[in-house]
Amino acid sequence: MSNWISICAVEDIPVLGSRRVARRQGPQVALFRTADDQVHALLDRCPHKAGPLSQGIVFGNAVACPLHNWTIALDSGCAREPDEGRTPVFRVRIVDGQVQLDGDELATLGTDLPLAQAGPCTRVAC
């Protein structure tokens, strides 16, 4: 049985935009809203270089990573060809206008992945 948790109202997510959901452990989750009001949830981490997908451009049923413009399908988390890779997808349901995510998935899915870190290069020649 799923443990559904209300996150926000659908209207709290901008059309063709996103909203981030913080978790106790692991990378954040990104909620995306398409032009036809479909809501999707992905780990806020591109499979390429861990770019923040929540800062990307939503178009159709995909999001473009802001770092290297990889296109990630919102329904599957898969990178579109010619790129390869996948980011975890979270189940979403809408109840009375409220976006809900599975609490068990929030507590476990992708929590083993490292957080993206920004900062100076660690190699001598960058």
- The residues facing 30 across adjacent strands are 20, 42
- Contact of 31 with 53, CB cutoff 8 Å: no
Which of these ranges, 14-18, 34-38, 54-58, 113-117, has the smallest mean pLDDT?
Answer: 113-117
* Contacts (Cβ under 8 Å, ≥6 apart) of 67: 46, 48, 49, 51
CA distance 77 to 71: 9
- Contact of 11 with 30, CB cutoff 8 Å: no
Q: Which fold has domain 4-108?
A: Rieske Iron-sulfur Protein (2.102.10)
Q: What percent of the chain has pLDDT over 90?
A: 83
Give the tens place of pLDDT for each residue, 64-88.
999 999 999 999 999 999 999 999 9
Q: Does pLDDT of 58 surpass 80?
A: yes
